[in-house]
C-alpha cells in the first residue's frame, strides 16, 4: 500500500509504496519495502504524516471501526 510519509531528515512529504505494513512485538511499524526520500535519498528515515497515521489506523483497525 502507499502511505503518506515525511522525511525525518529534510521534511519532504511523499507517498511511498511500503508493501504490507506489520508490527513487531513492541508495536513498532515495519514496512516490507525500504523507503527512500525522493528529495534527499535518505533511506528508512521516514515519519508518518497525520494522513499516514490514519492510513495505518484504517489498515490495522479498519474492520473494527466499521
Least distance from Zn ion to the Cβ atom of residue 26, Å: 25
Question: What is the chain's length?
Answer: 66
Place of cell 490495522: 60
Q: Minimal distance in Å, beta carbon 35 to Zn ion?
A: 10
DSSP state letters, 16-51 = EE--S-EE-TT--EE-SS--B-TTT--BS-EEE-HH
Residue 10 CB, nearest distance to Zn ion (Å)?
A: 3
Q: Which is nearer to Zn ion, 40 or 60 (CB)?
A: 40
Residues within the interface to Zn ion (CB under 5 A): 7, 9-10, 12, 37, 39-40, 42
Amino acid at each position: 500500500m502507499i502511505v503518506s510519509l515525511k522525511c525525518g531528515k529534510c521534511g519532504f512529504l511523499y507517498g511511498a509504496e511500503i508493501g504490507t505494513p506489520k508490527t513487531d512485538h513492541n508495536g513498532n511499524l515495519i514496512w516490507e519495502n525500504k523507503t527512500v526520500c525522493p528529495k534527499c535519498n535518505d533511506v528508512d528515515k521516514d515519519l508518518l504524516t497525520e494522513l499516514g497515521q490514519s492510513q495505518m489506523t484504517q489498515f490495522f483497525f479498519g474492520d473494527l471501526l466499521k
